[in-house]
């Protein structure tokens, strides 16, 4: 076990709750650390329910294509914690080195002493230290949960804020109505700072606009101030600055056009940032973000399948994500018809019925599994019952590998989708040899 892994295990015990939304504890620690959050590069702060990670990845790729050095903070990680903290370098940002991470975590642990603090708060403080110590042009900062009381919301003057599509998720922390969730997301808006707003449901947009008006934030709203759409196999982006005729994003799924458009709108809002159509095109085709409609083409799990198979992986886990993934699969089906077989595992706090319902009539069969190593996973039997109630032909399986073997036997040319949880996605990537 690496030194950082040992420290991370220790940090999990500093607070009795895994999640306890508050800013007081991290503000106290950052003050003891001489406020590294005030010394980071200009921040692009991103909140939202779905599309945060993909939008962050697009912004990073677009900025790097324009010759900028970029730090990136995201969560959760898929395979190793280091993925959360990516530092700018000459050839793009890379996960933090083991020695640097271990030293910074140990320093934060010492400075914090025995004061209570959550795992996410102390690791976010460590990330700010690392970002402050290394030069970059921008920091792309993804909210962990919510926005208003998220540990990342100690940045009082970001360069731009972004809210990706808002939907119901984490009701135990953010509320069980769309308006309550939107209020929490809108907590990252700042006076005088432009907020780029991705396509939203009307109720969510109304809450965001009310908050912006109340505090004096500036808005750049999809469908009002800018738009992006597919046309003749291309992506069109248009705002008051003009029209960009671009290649489709590398990340598959129609929803990625919205995410890419949101990223371009965010770049347009950066003071002094000149947009190059050529660099935008390069950024869109170079964007990578694992476990978001990712096709796995080689590896130990892929080797278990018939040669003429497709294996897709997505970590989305709420009803809006389920609908977006089902739409993406339907788009693949239009191009080439294959029997769809799903392998799904989900956490017990998620709306599994709402997530699975869009796949009824689309999937030939679903194999349900318990997520390896997750105490809060639904059992394979529990999830199979939920899937059956949602109109899917469901069968529990003992493991990822067993489900893949069954899927391979069900068809000689299946399209297999592993989905339902980022935790499951991480286990899949690890098992495949990542």
The alpha carbon of 4 is separated from its chain's Cα centroid by a whole number of angstroms, namely: 23
Least confident of 37-46, 164-173, 276-285, 317-326: 164-173
> Residue 319: pLDDT above 90?
yes
Examine domains 3-286 and 294-431 and report if their fold is the same. Answer: no
pLDDT in the model for residue 174: 81
Task: Report residue 1's pLDDT band, with 50, 70 and 90 as the boundaries.
Answer: low
Burial of 128 (0-12, 13-18, 19+ CB in 10 A): buried
Q: Which of 289, 296, 270 is nearest to 58 (CA)?
A: 289
Burial of 409 (0-12, 13-18, 19+ CB in 10 A): exposed
> Residue 94: pLDDT above 90?
yes
Distance (Å, whole) CA 354 – CA 377? 17
* 125 SS3 class: helix
The alpha carbon of 74 is separated from its chain's Cα centroid by a whole number of angstroms, namely: 7
Q: What is the CATH number of domain 3-286?
A: 3.40.1190.10
Give how far Cα 26 sits from Cα of 20, 111, 167, 190, Å: 12, 12, 27, 19
Mean pLDDT of 13-40: 89
Q: Work out whether the CA dihedral 71, 77, 78, 81 comes out positive or negative.
A: positive
C-beta atoms surrounding 292 within 10 Å: 27
pLDDT in the model for residue 191: 98
Task: Transcribe 6-17 into DSSP letters.
Answer: HHHHHHTTSSS-
Distance (Å, whole) CA 231 – CA 233? 6
Percent with pLDDT over 90 in the chain: 86
Q: Which of 269, 275, 249 is nearest to 328 (CA)?
A: 249
Give how far Cα 262 sits from Cα of 60, 241, 255, Å: 12, 15, 11
pLDDT in the model for residue 198: 98
Q: Work out whether the CA dihedral 136, 142, 144, 146 comes out positive or negative.
A: positive
Give how far Cα 77 sits from Cα of 288, 289, 427, Å: 15, 11, 11
How does the average pLDDT of the chain come out, rounded?
A: 94
Q: Where are the domains of the chain?
A: 3-286, 294-431
> Residue 203: pLDDT above 70?
yes
pLDDT in the model for residue 266: 98
Task: Report residue 90's pLDDT band, with 50, 70 and 90 as the boundaries.
Answer: confident
Mean pLDDT of 390-396: 94
Task: Transcribe 235-303 into DSSP letters.
Answer: EEEEETTEEEEEEPPSS-STHHHHHHHHHHHHHHTSTT-PPPHHHHHHHHHH---TTSSEEE-SSTTGG
Residue recorded with tokens 């978001």: 292
pLDDT in the model for residue 434: 72
Contacts of 288 (CB under 8 A, 6+ apart): 57, 61, 250, 251
Mean pLDDT of 15-43: 91
Model pLDDT for residues 274-285, shown as the tens digit of each residue: 899 999 999 999
pLDDT in the model for residue 176: 86
pLDDT in the model for residue 166: 96
> Residue 180: pLDDT above 90?
yes
Residue 71 or residue 12, greater confidence: 71
Mean pLDDT of 147-174: 92
Task: Report residue 429's pLDDT band, with 50, 70 and 90 as the boundaries.
Answer: very high
CATH superfamily, domain 294-431, is Mur ligase, C-terminal domain (3.90.190.20)
Percent with pLDDT over 70 in the chain: 99
Contacts of 282 (CB under 8 A, 6+ apart): 65
Residue 305 or residue 15, greater confidence: 305
Distance (Å, whole) CA 124 – CA 106? 13
Residue 153 or residue 433, greater confidence: 153
Q: Which of 319, 420, 292, 294 is nearest to 368 (CA)?
A: 420
**242 - beta bridge partners?**
239
């Amino acid at each position: 076990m690496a030194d950082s892994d040992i420290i991370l295990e220790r940090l999990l015990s500093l607070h009795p709750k895994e999640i306890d939304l508050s800013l007081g504890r991290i503000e106290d620690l950052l003050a003891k650390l001489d406020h590294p959050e005030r010394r980071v590069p200009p921040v692009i702060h991103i909140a939202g329910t779905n599309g945060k990670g993909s939008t962050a990845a697009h912004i990073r790729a677009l900025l790097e294509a324009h010759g900028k050095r970029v730090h990136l903070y995201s969560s959760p990680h898929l395979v190793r914690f280091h993925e959360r903290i990516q530092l700018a370098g000459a050839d793009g940002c890379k996960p933090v080195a083991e020695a640097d991470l271990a030293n910074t975590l140990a320093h934060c642990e010492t400075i914090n002493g025995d004061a209570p603090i959550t795992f996410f708060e102390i690791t976010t403080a460590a990330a700010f230290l690392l970002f402050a110590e290394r030069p970059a042009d921008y920091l792309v900062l993804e909210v962990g949960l919510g926005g208003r009381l998220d540990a990342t919301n100690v940045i009082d003057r970001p360069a731009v804020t972004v809210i990706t599509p808002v939907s119901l998720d984490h009701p135990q922390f953010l509320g069980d109505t769309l308006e309550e969730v939107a209020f929490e997301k809108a907590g990252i808006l700042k006076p005088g700072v432009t907020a780029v707003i991705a396509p939203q449901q009307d109720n969510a947009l109304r809450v965001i606009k009310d908050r912006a008006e109340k505090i004096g934030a500036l808005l750049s709203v999809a469908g009002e101030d800018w738009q992006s759409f597919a046309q003749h196999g291309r992506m069109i982006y248009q705002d008051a600055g003009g029209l960009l005729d671009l290649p489709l994003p590398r990340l598959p799924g129609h929803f990625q056009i919205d995410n890419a458009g949101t990223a371009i709108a965010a770049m347009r809002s950066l003071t002094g940032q000149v947009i190059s159509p050529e660099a935008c095109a390069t950024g869109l085709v170079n964007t990578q973000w694992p476990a978001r409609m990712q096709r796995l083409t080689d590896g130990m799990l892929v080797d278990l399948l018939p040669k003429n198979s497709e294996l897709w992986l997505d970590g989305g886990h709420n009803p809006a994500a389920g609908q977006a993934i089902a739409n993406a699969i339907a788009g693949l089906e239009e191009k080439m018809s294959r029997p769809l077989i799903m392998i799904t595992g989900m956490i017990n706090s998620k709306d599994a019925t709402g997530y699975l319902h869009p796949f009824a009539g689309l999937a030939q069969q679903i194999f349900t599994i318990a997520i390896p190593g997750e105490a809060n996973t639904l059992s394979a039997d529990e999830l199979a019952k939920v899937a059956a109630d949602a109109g899917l032909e469901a069968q529990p399986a003992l493991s990822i590998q067993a489900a893949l073997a069954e899927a391979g036997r069900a068809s000689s040319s299946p399209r297999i989708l592993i989905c339902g949880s980022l935790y499951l996605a991480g286990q899949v990537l690890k098992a495949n040899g990542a």
